[in-house]
């Protein structure tokens, strides 16, 4: 059985979720009680990884929460729970009160940590620390680049804390623009937090939170900085006492969150890549082309049925679903879901592509996911001139795309009900094919507050001054 468990582990490492699931089910059926009791946490964790590869959000979440219940190590429990909580945001059957309850209860898993004493510094320049586990180019980079490169050096200095030595051009750019750049060894959270503490950081920002498997939150739990903030890369709340603020604005906040919003006019700023500023549109189809370029785990059956209705109301419309990963198994699982919903006509399913920007540019209208919306894909698409239709819910994480559109002066693409979402898609279907329409979308984005780095940084730095 041990050899089978090792094999399942290797299969998940190489993205073979279906084969791993087959082995894990065999283990669950044939292993004796003692083996299952001793290895239950690892089996559940591997089930979570395998279902993630396959794209089954509900089963992945359930497996990760089960792993947390079976694991005897607190550090591992935090990691399992963080993975499960992140996926929980994707599911439409999880109500806000339930989700926020889970997030609040996460606090007790940090009860063993002894916080550093509270301290206030009197630095000539405010010292801002940024926790960024991976500093290579990612979907987060465009949102955080202004903070890391365009700050006021007369009043602030920055220190970037990474967990990974890998680097690229983005790493080089932010490293050259920071006063310090350190790679933390997180085998000991205390030792890593102590490095931050010794640097006398005034404000520490964690960009990833649950997205980093609780590693960054485990550092924040020690209270290495006077003020601690979470956001941007984790578009949700934490409800944790050691998080003082979340990046937010009046639009994003909701009445059930416990976190204090950082007082910003706009929570986000987006720096387009060079390729986004080019006219990448090449294909001209007679059909109206809709696209969903997002993590397939975020796609609920309710959204598939809404998209089906849109396509059926437009005889010359097509829909492309393109995942954010290269797992063929996810595409197969999505096709099986579409078949069950009798939605196979004029819809194609694809894995991720390196040419996703060109693919988005060749798409007439992008359709957003719900309740967990897009972020980078939304901002990138509208920069290319492709409008994105989003459904804004009531909780923080369901309004992220809408906040991007609001900042970009594209509020007409924000829906507040499922019916309005479908109506907007039909309304703009034909107009979205015209170059004048697309150029209008693009122009509004590039002249909006979403891409105004100077104004954003002035607002952010004023907020930093006020919370110290």
The residue range of the domain holding 28 is 2-94
Residue 121 resides in a domain: no
Tell me how far apart the alpha carbons of residues 130 and 222 are, in angstroms, rounded to a whole number: 16
How do residues 305-320 score in pLDDT, each as one tens digit? 999 999 999 999 999 9
Secondary structure (3-state) at 283: coil
Q: What is the pLDDT of residue 134?
A: 96
CATH classification at residue 14: 1.25.40
pLDDT for 277: 86
- Tens of pLDDT along 136-179? 999 999 999 999 999 999 999 999 999 999 999 999 999 999 99
For residue 301, what pLDDT band results from cuts at 50, 70 and 90? very high
- The contacts of residue 60 (CB under 8 Å, 6+ apart) are 48, 49, 51, 52, 87, 297
Q: Which two tokens stand for residue 317?
A: 């419309």
- Return mean pLDDT, the chain: 95
Place of tokens 């009791």: 37
In whole angstroms, how far apart are CA 268 and each of 246, 403, 412, 448, 449? 12, 8, 19, 12, 9
Tell me the backbone φ, ψ of residue 181, rounded to 5 degrees: -140, 115
**Cis peptide upstream of residue 267 (ω within 30 degrees of 0):** no
Answer whether residue 117 is part of any domain.
no
279: pLDDT strictly greater than 80: no
- Quick: pLDDT tens for 98-127: 999 999 999 999 988 999 999 999 999 999
Per the listing, tokens 């801002």 go with 128
Q: Is residue 415 part of a domain?
A: yes
Q: Which residues contact 351 (CB under 8 A, 6 or more apart)?
A: 322, 323, 325, 326, 327, 328, 330, 331
Residue at 105 is within a domain? no
Task: With a cut of 90, say whether residue 278 has pLDDT above it.
Answer: no
When divided into structural domains, the chain yields a total of 3
> In this structure, are 249 and 139 located in the same domain?
yes
Judgement on whether residues 263 and 163 belong to the same structural domain of the protein:
yes
119 in a structural domain: no
Residue 339, in any domain of the structure = yes
* CA–CA dist 331, 190 (Å, integer): 42
Residue 263: the pLDDT is: 82
Backbone phi and psi for residue 75, each to the nearest 5 degrees, phi listed first: -60, -45
265 and 338 together in one domain: no
User: Does position 455 have pLDDT exceeding 90, yes or no?
Assistant: yes
- End position of a domain, from candidates 50, 75, 94: 94
Average of per-residue pLDDT across 409-438? 95
102 part of a folded domain? no
List the CATH number of the domain containing 442: 3.40.50.2000
**Residue 29 host element (H or E):** helix 17-30
pLDDT at residue 465 above 90?
yes
Q: Where are the alpha helices (DSSP H) in 263-375?
A: 301-313, 328-340, 356-361
239 and 313 belong to one structural domain:
no
CATH number (domain holding residue 238): 3.40.50.11380
Phi/psi at 290 (5° precision): -105, 150
- What value does the mean pLDDT take over residues 427-440? 92
What pLDDT does 274 receive? Answer: 87
Q: CA–CA separation, 269 vs 145, rounded Å?
A: 9
- In eight-state DSSP terms, residue 190 is H
Residue 195 and residue 280 share a domain: no
pLDDT level of residue 42 (50, 70, 90 thresholds): very high
pLDDT confidence of 74, banded at 50, 70, 90? Answer: very high
Using an 8 Å Cβ cutoff, are 463 and 264 in contact? yes
Residues 283, 255 within the same domain: no
Write the pLDDT tens digit of every residue in 48-67. Answer: 999 999 999 999 999 999 99
Which tokens belong to 224? Answer: 């290495």
> Residue 59 in contact with residue 18, Cβ under 8 Å?
no
Task: State pLDDT tens for residues 364-374.
Answer: 999 999 999 99
**pTM for this structure?**
0.95
pLDDT of residue 207: 96
Q: How many whole angstroms separate alpha carbon 47 and alpha carbon 241?
A: 31
Judge if 242 and 279 occupy the same domain: no
């Amino acid at each position: 059985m041990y050899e089978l468990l090792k094999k399942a582990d290797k299969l998940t490492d190489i993205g073979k979720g279906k084969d791993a699931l087959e082995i894990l089910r065999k283990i669950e059926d044939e292993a004796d009680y003692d083996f299952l009791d001793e290895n239950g946490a690892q089996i559940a964790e591997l089930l979570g990884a395998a279902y993630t590869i396959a794209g089954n959000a509900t089963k992945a979440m359930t497996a990760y929460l089960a792993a947390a219940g079976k694991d005897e190590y607190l550090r591992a429990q935090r990691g399992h729970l963080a993975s499960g909580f992140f996926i929980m945001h994707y599911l439409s059957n999880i109500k806000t009160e339930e989700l926020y309850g889970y997030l609040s209860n996460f606090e007790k898993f940090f009860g063993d940590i002894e916080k550093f004493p509270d301290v206030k510094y009197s630095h000539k320049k405010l010292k801002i620390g940024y926790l960024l586990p991976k500093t290579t180019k990612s979907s987060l980079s465009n949102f955080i680049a202004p903070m890391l490169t365009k700050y006021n050096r007369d009043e602030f200095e920055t220190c970037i804390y990474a967990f990974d030595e890998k680097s690229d051009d983005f790493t080089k750019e932010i490293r050259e623009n920071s006063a310090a750049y350190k790679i933390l060894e997180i085998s000991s959270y205390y030792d890593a937090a102590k490095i931050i503490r010794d640097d006398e950081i005034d404000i520490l920002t964690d960009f990833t939170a649950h997205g980093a498997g609780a590693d960054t939150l485990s550092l924040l739990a020690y209270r290495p900085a006077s003020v601690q903030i979470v956001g941007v890369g984790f578009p949700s709340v934490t409800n944790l006492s050691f998080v003082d603020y979340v990046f937010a604005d009046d639009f994003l906040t909701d009445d059930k969150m416990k976190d204090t919003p950082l007082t910003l006019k706009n929570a986000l700023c987006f720096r387009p890549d060079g390729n986004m500023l080019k006219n990448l549109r090449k294909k001209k189809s007679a059909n109206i082309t809709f696209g969903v370029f997002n993590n397939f785990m975020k796609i609920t059956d309710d959204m598939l049925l809404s998209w089906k209705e849109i396509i059926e109301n437009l005889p010359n419309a097509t829909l492309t679903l393109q995942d954010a990963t290269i797992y063929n198994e996810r595409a197969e699982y999505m096709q099986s879901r579409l078949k069950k919903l009798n939605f196979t006509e004029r819809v194609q399913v694809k894995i991720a592509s390196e040419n996703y920007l060109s693919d988005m540019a060749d798409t007439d209208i992008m359709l957003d996911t719900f309740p967990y919306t897009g972020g980078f894909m939304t901002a990138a698409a509208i920069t290319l001139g492709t409008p994105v239709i989003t459904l804004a819910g009531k909780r923080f994480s369901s309004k992220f795309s809408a906040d991007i559109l609001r900042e970009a002066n594209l509020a007409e693409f924000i829906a507040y009900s499922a019916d309005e979402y479908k109506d907007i898609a039909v309304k703009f279907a034909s107009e979205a094919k015209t170059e004048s329409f697309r150029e209008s979308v693009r122009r509004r984005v590039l002249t909006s507050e979403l891409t105004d780095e100077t104004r954003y940084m002035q607002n952010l730095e004023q907020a930093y001054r006020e919370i110290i």
